[in-house]
Chains A and B, each alone.
Chain A
Amino acid sequence: MYRLIIMLVLTSHIAYSQDKRLYQNKGNKFNPSIGVNSLFLFKNDSVPTTDEGFSIQEMELQFVSDVDSNFMVNALIAIRKEAGEFIIEPEEAFLETTSIKDITFRVGKFRMALGKHNQLHTHAYPFVDAPLTQASFLGDEGLQEVGGSLAYLVPLPWYTEVRVQAVQGENEDLFNPGGGKNTNNYAYLGRLVNFLEVTDHSTLELSFSGLTGRNDNDPLVNPEDTHLLGADLTYKWKPSKNQSFLWSTEYLQRQKETLESGIFSYIQYQIAPRWYLGARYDKLGITEDDGTDISRGSFVATFASSEFAAIRAQYNYVDDKSQEINHQVMVQFNMSIGAHPAHRY
């Protein structure tokens, strides 16, 4: 919270010192596009948990604008409850170059390109909750770090993009269990995206990601590296705006002290202009035979009254190898007001 206030003070000072700009920016004409996404949630578990009942799952305030002819800035401020208290934090805040050919540079805090799901904002998740593997390996909010990123569109007959990212490794689940700043620990990521148009109405994406970074588990005695490897495959079919089908699978493995791995696969079928059905299978701990693996089956029905409003009902069957199966039921209201930038494919 303090950091945010300091940030605001600093940025207002910069704006103030540039009086020329100040004149140009008077009035609303040059305001950034502003949007608010609100996620309201009701949850019920058959095995009692602490997060049952009504809650604000998350609110996201999003600001997007060109800065000048060379840069754009995208800031997404998330408000959510953590340990019983509302916290405000920049989920993403980065600048991107807009005037360089073939390459996009990005600097700031961003969702890292580790698989497809990790790059989604909470309101764009295909299900109410995140996949087990992602939440367990990368943390509840996913992997967002501060650093730089380069994306290059490879001039080939099909779509191929290479992404390279270098960040400060601060994520508690991967690099820095104590929290706080870890000054000399950088993490590096590479992602290769391949995208094929199978027919006029269907596409196939096959991508690979790898990430490596020093972790601080026992820095004095034995500094070690965390390695992550992932692959994702997505098939989309959309013959018209009233009908569509999607099948997506992501595999992720993490080497940190031990080797762990997990996978999820889901389908989503649009049955009518405003109705979607989805089913997902999750497995965390594919190779574990000591009974620590978790599997989960989920079903979701979505009514999207427009592109800005969706109501979802989801059922989860969770088998974590303890005595009881947990049956979860969730209802989510997913509302967007104001400007809403286009979603990635």
Chain B
Amino acid sequence: MKVLLVFLFSISAWGKIKVVTTTTNLRSLVEFVGGDQVEVVSLAKGTQDPHYLEAKPSYVLKVSKADLLVQIGLGLEDAWLPLIIRGARRPDLRPGEKRHLFAHRGVELLEVLKAGEVTRKDGDVHPEGNPHFLLDPVRASFVAGEISKKLAELDPSHQKYYLSNAQKFSERTKDLASKKIKVKKVISYHKTLNYFYNRFGVENIAYLEPKPGVPPSAGHLIKLIGIIKQQKPEKVIVENYFDPSPADRLKKESPKLEIRSVPVAVDADKSVGDILKLYQQLIKEIGE
């Protein structure tokens, strides 16, 4: 019975391009662009921080069957993806090859550092640029365009379909990007939302992490309380895969502060099944 199901399933997937993405945000973009011509899986779940995945052999299995691998790049997946690609024994999926796509290529990046400006004492930094660019709808629509070109290259018979899907997606992101956000000053846990803030004119005045990747310490929280008194931010935004309890401690000191735990990835909670819903949710949670 099981064999039969597997068999039927593989028939239904016949002819579709099998895409593996590293994050659910990328998966959602590929779904918008590829429509019914693609079958997409993401290695990271929406509830997982993609910095900290492990090189699980089940990922190797997924990648070994892929027609296309899409990753963010900028060091985000460095701790695990190289082993997965090598373990899958698929030379055609290596960076630079036809069936591999770096989503960051061509994107206007923030926080790019020159060599020598940063060392490991500065925590988990990405000197080539902040890798969370998909949280800006405008940059995401650029990436959707790049994905459509790549899909068209692999499957030229549906070129028009992919390009028009990317176009449709781009129009929907324009609507979202023109929305106004009332909140102007926030504190965040990690540098995840900087592209979103940049697009919507929100100022992030401090982070709960003393340094990227380093959990909040008591001393750092005391410093933050001082900053809050001086600069009066309206909200503390915690990406929902982080522990919200340090933010609650800030709220004890300044009760006016609003704490919001927000999804930053598709599938991070039930309400955000695709990336457009994710933007709507973020605009609502951060902006109102």
Contacts and interface: CB of A to CB of B under 8 A. Distances in A.
Nearest to B52: A241
Contact of A342 (B83, B91, B123): B83
B82 A341 contact: yes
Contacts of A103: 89
Contacts of B81: 342
Contacts of A274: 215
Nearest to A193: B57
A159 B87 CA distance: 11
Given A153-B60, A159-B58, A342 B78 contact: yes
Given A101-B91, A158-B61, A306 B214 contact: yes
Contacts of A158: 61
B91 A99 contact: yes
A342 B90 contact: no
Contacts of B83: 341-345
Contacts of B49: 241
B6 interface: yes
B56 A345 contact: yes
Contacts of A102: 89
Contacts of A345: 54-57, 83
B270 interface: no
Interface in B235-259: 241, 243
Interface stretch (A13-21, A86-94, A178-186, A195-203): A195-203
Given A203-B56, A273-B215, A342-B83, A100 B91 contact: yes
A308 to B, nearest CB: 6
Contacts of A205: 57
A308 B214 CA distance: 12
B273 to A, nearest CB: 17
B177 to A, nearest CB: 31
B185 interface: no
B15 interface: no
Interface string B73-85: 0000011111100
Nearest to A197: B58
B100 interface: no
Contact of A307 (B47, B61, B79, B88): B79
Nearest to A70: B91
B213 interface: yes
Interface string A96-116: 101111111000000000000
Nearest to A274: B215
A235 to B, nearest CB: 13
Contacts of A344: 55, 83
B18 interface: no
B89 A153 contact: yes
Interface residues of B, number: 36
A242 interface: yes
B90 A101 contact: yes
A342 B55 contact: yes
Contacts of A337: 120
A24 to B, nearest CB: 17
A104 B60 contact: no
Contacts of B124: 306
A11 interface: no
Interface in A309-345: 337, 341-345
A342 B83 CA distance: 7
Interface in B163-193: none
Contacts of A342: 55, 78-83
Interface string B29-65: 0000000000000000101110010111110110010
Contacts of B80: 342
B54 A238 contact: yes
B94 interface: yes
A56 B6 CA distance: 54
Contacts of A343: 55, 83
Contacts of B215: 273-274
B284 interface: no
A153 B90 CA distance: 11
A195 B55 contact: no
Interface string A132-174: 0000000000000000000001010111010000000000000
Contacts of B123: 306
A236 to B, nearest CB: 8
Contacts of A240: 47-48, 241
B86 interface: yes
Contacts of B120: 306, 308, 337
A98 B56 contact: no
Most B CB contacts (10 A, CB to CB) among A193, A273, A274 go to: A273
Contacts of B57: 159, 161, 193, 195, 203, 205, 345
B47 to A, nearest CB: 8
B64 A153 contact: yes
Interface string A29-63: 00000000000000000000000000000000000
17 contacts: A96-B86, A100-B89, A104-B89, A153-B60, A153-B88, A157-B6, A159-B61, A161-B57, A238-B54, A240-B47, A240-B48, A241-B48, A273-B243, A306-B123, A308-B120, A342-B78, A344-B55
What 4 pairs across the A-B complex have the smallest Cβ distances? Answer: A159-B57, A241-B52, A195-B57, A99-B91
Interface of A: 96, 98-104, 153, 155, 157-159, 161, 193, 195, 197, 200, 203, 205, 238, 240-242, 273-274, 306-308, 337, 341-345
Given A96-B86, A242-B243, 16 more contacts: A101-B89, A102-B89, A103-B89, A104-B89, A153-B60, A159-B57, A159-B60, A195-B57, A200-B45, A241-B241, A306-B120, A306-B214, A341-B82, A342-B79, A344-B55, A345-B54
